[in-house]
Amino acid sequence: MLTLRALFGGTFDPVHRGHLEAAREVRDALDIEDFRFLPAGDPPHRERTFAAPEHRVRMLECALADHPGFTIDRSELDRPGRSYMSDTLAQFRERFPDDARALVLGQDALNGLDRWHAWRDLPELAHLVVMTRPGETPNYGPELAEALEGRETDDPRDLRRLPAGRMFTVPVTPRDISSTAIRRCAGDGATLRALVPAAVAGYIERERLYGGGVAGDGAGAADL
Ligand code: ATP
Ligand code: MG
């Protein structure tokens, strides 16, 4: 049986309790030995991020400080140019050729996978570990459906028999939290604290990200 290493990709703009709790459930369900949060540097499939990469990493550091099993993988931030997941997973394979590797992503992200650069390579570079998400059901275009066909398994051991190529869904506890909703309410400290760890809420307020901070001074308002 192979060691299983996972990359949990996202913009984490900001990281929230939905990410953290889902990640914990996935790691526990699959006994993943190496679980890395992978903040996107310059994500090509989005117009832009709101907080700068270093702010997004600092928020992850705040969030992960009391989750010792989780680490941050900086490879997309440290590589110049656009961050393509296909490059990241190819690099991950070079680093750990003898281990099994998984890309962890939510159902909404998987539904849109066929918009990613070189997306057909992705299921061959890593297993796909899919987290359920409220309001999101499997919904694949015909080419993506074909690319995923035959990969699905409900036996977690299959993820350690081969280094890549299978797909496994973890039904995580539904949490209706998104970074989009958080960016909209960042000026409201009480709501913020319900959605992100206290250390992340403090960071957002100190750095006045997402239009929060001192009411009326307009800091960051251009980001909304
Ligand atoms: P945004 O609203 O900016 O898109 P987000 O909350 O979707 O933010 P991302 O950084 O886009 O956060 O998400 C990273 C990954 O985590 C994606 O694969 C996404 O599907 C998954 N994810 C985010 N929130 C949840 C959640 N509440 N439950 C399950 N999966 C989630
Ligand atoms: Mg998202």
Q: What is the pLDDT of residue 167?
A: 98
The residue whose CA is least distant from atom 31 of ligand 1 is 106
> Model pTM?
0.93
pLDDT at 212: 66
In this structure, are 190 and 160 located in the same domain? no
Q: Are residues 205 and 166 in the same domain?
A: no
DSSP state of 8: E
Q: How far is the CA of 1 from the centre of ligand 1 (A)?
A: 30
Residue 53 CB partners (closer than 8 Å, separation 6+): 39, 41, 42, 77
Closest C-alpha residue for ligand 1 atom 26: 18
The two three-digit tokens of residue 165, written as one number: 């190529």
Identify the CA nearest to 20 among candidates 67, 85, 72. 67
Closest atom of ligand 1 relative to the 18 alpha carbon? 27
Sign of dihedral through CA atoms 121, 84, 38, 16?
A: negative
Residue 198: its pLDDT value, please? Answer: 96
What pLDDT does residue 187 have?
A: 82
Q: Do 197 and 86 belong together in one domain?
A: no
> In the predicted model, what is the mean pLDDT of residues 33-43?
91
Residue 137 Cβ < 6 Å to ligand 1 = no
DSSP state of 46: S
Together in a domain, 116 and 193: no
Three-state DSSP class for residue 35: strand
Domain presence at residue 219: no
Range of the domain at 204: 179-211
Q: In this structure, is residue 216 part of a structural domain?
A: no
Count the domains in the chain: 2
One domain, residues 122 and 201: no
- Residues 126, 94 within the same domain: yes
Are 134 and 194 in the same domain? no
* Shared domain check, 186 and 124: no
> Are 148 and 196 found together in one domain?
no
* Residue 5 beta carbon below 6 angstroms from any ligand 1 atom: no
CATH number at residue 113: 3.40.50.620
> Which pair of structure tokens corresponds to residue 43?
């994500």
Kindly state whether residue 122 falls inside one of the protein's structural domains: yes
State the closest ligand 1 atom to the C-alpha of 104, by its place in the atom list counted from 1.
18
Determine the Cα–Cα distance for residues 15 and 70; give it in Å rounded to an integer.
Answer: 13
77 and 37 in a common domain: yes
Q: What is the pLDDT of residues 171-209, one digit of tens each?
A: 999 999 999 999 999 888 889 999 999 999 999 999 999
Residue 218, in any domain of the structure: no
CB 184 less than 6 A from any atom of ligand 1 = no
Distance CA 58, CA 178 (A): 18
